[in-house]
Amino acid sequence: MGMERLIALWCPGLLREGERGDEARAFLQVLVAAERFCPWVDPVSLGICTIPSRGPSRFFGGERAVVEKLAAAMGDLAVRHPAVGQVRVGAADGLFAALLAARSGLAVPRGETAAFLAPCSVAVLRRTELAVTLQRLGVHTLGQFAALPARDVLARFGADAGACHRVAGGDEGELVGLRDSGLRRRLETVRTDRADAGHPRQPGFFGGASAADARAAEAFARVQERLGAGAVVVGRLQGGRSPEERASLVPWGARGTTAPSGPSGRSRPGSSPAAAPWPGRLPVPSPTRVLGTPVELAVTDDTGRAVQVTARGLLDADPAAASIGGGPWQEVRGWAGPWPSTERWWSSRRRRARLQILTAAGALLVVAERGGWWVEALYE
């Protein structure tokens, strides 16, 4: 069966929108919390979303671990945001079965979709007319419906019923009407700017500059005179996802750079707002060099064919060799990821995937985007 394995979240209290839009706001919290497990959160309709099972399962050590952690995370979320209420988690093959599984809080084993659906009422297809007709004919369950010959269903009830028939038999997961096409726009309108907008740190000032500070400042000014004002920079941490977003280099002399920061103002790794978890953030330790201009990378499998990232963010072959910027080919000794990265997925469809690649010459952080590979950072 070619259906994608999905983990679904079902929020019984958020399925219908009230007048004040609280449900949509609470559902956004659910989406953001789910995004910590996988950025490819797919909002299906208000109160219902899915994530692909495969990527997170690989990262967290199995689907069961993902499901348990998701459930725990949603429990925590409900404590912090009571408006979220109960969140049920389920998993199954294909969207339709995944939604039903989540509604019941069940994980349906791979390949058991038809058996899971069989006892369900035909009413779950949400085709009132069809359901009434079928029940009059003595067909009450999806299993009984699926047992009817496909050709007869098509001839007697039409194309939409044919699609329902394939879904009932566990052969397909998508069905017209499952998705709320206006949902993304609605979420966009209730979205408030939160999370990782980045708070530039406020340096705490000592009383006055010491003699050492004055001497250092003079030396920096002399270098600026020789090499240009922009040549001397200081590093700053901020919120963000990729290495280049999380840090910035600002010219010495810009506001807040010329006075030493007190110990309390010291930038700390792991402190908010730089503390978004995977996959927004890459794992510690971070690369020692973050290239301002990414360098092209070629990655091939053991047959010499170029390795690609699929639409679902998986590699289509195991990398065997890599060449940076047309340089010598290096053997690939290990890789991790791809970790998909969609910056602000509900407003943008831009998809990237990041990988760490270990070659004989060193470790690289690479990004795959639009069919190409780029070295973004080095662990020198």
Of 75-104, binders to another protein (CB under 8 A) are 75-76, 78-79, 86-91, 101, 104
CA–CA gap between residue 108 and residue 114 (Å, rounded): 10
Q: Which letter does DSSP use for residue 16 in this model?
A: S
Nearer to another protein, 118 or 124 (CB): 118
Q: What residues form DSSP beta bridges with 309? A: 315
65's CB contacts (< 8 A; 6+ apart) are 57
Minimum CB distance to another protein, residue 200 (Å): 12
Complex with another protein: residue 87 or 148, whichever CB lies closer: 87
DSSP track, 43-55: EEETTEEEEESHH
Binding mask 256-275 for another protein (x = CB under 8 A): ----xx---xxxxxxx--xx
The DSSP 8-state label assigned to residue 306 in this structure reads B
329 binds another protein (CB under 8 A): no
C-alpha distance across the termini of the chain, in Å:
45
| Residue whose C-alpha is closest to residue 338's, from 79, 72, 29, 40 | 40
136-165 residues in contact with another protein (CB under 8 A) are none
CA distances from 43 to 127, 232, 270, 369 (A): 22, 46, 30, 23
Determine if 109 is a binding residue for another protein (CB under 8 A).
yes
Examine residue 362 and tell whether it contacts another protein (CB under 8 A): yes
The 8-class DSSP code of residue 230 comes to G
Size of the site for another protein (CB under 8 A): 98
Of 156-164, 240-248, 304-312, 340-348, the window that binds another protein (rule: CB under 8 A) is 240-248
Number of helical (H) and strand (E) elements in the chain, helices listed first: 12, 12
Binding residue for another protein (CB under 8 A) from 200, 277, 305, 347? Answer: 277
Q: Minimum Å distance from CB 109 to another protein?
A: 4
| Among 111, 10, 107, 104, residue whose Cα is nearest residue 66 | 107
Least Å distance, CB 308 to another protein, is: 15
Question: Is residue 315 a contact residue for another protein (CB under 8 A)?
Answer: yes
Among 127, 165, 241, 246, binds another protein (CB under 8 A): 246
CB atoms within 10 A of CB 88: 18
Q: Work out how close the CB of 129 gets to another protein at its nearest, in angstroms, rounded to a whole number.
A: 31
Token digits of residue 283: 């794992």
Considering the complex, state which of residue 134 and residue 337 has its C-beta at the smaller distance from another protein. 337
**Closest approach of Cβ 5 to another protein, in Å?**
12
| Minimum distance from residue 252 beta carbon to another protein (Å) | 5
Site for another protein in 187-206 (CB under 8 A): 203
Q: Determine if 3 is a binding residue for another protein (CB under 8 A).
A: no
Residues in region 14-33 near another protein by CB under 8 A: none
Residue located via tokens 């007048």: 19
DSSP letter at 159?
Answer: H
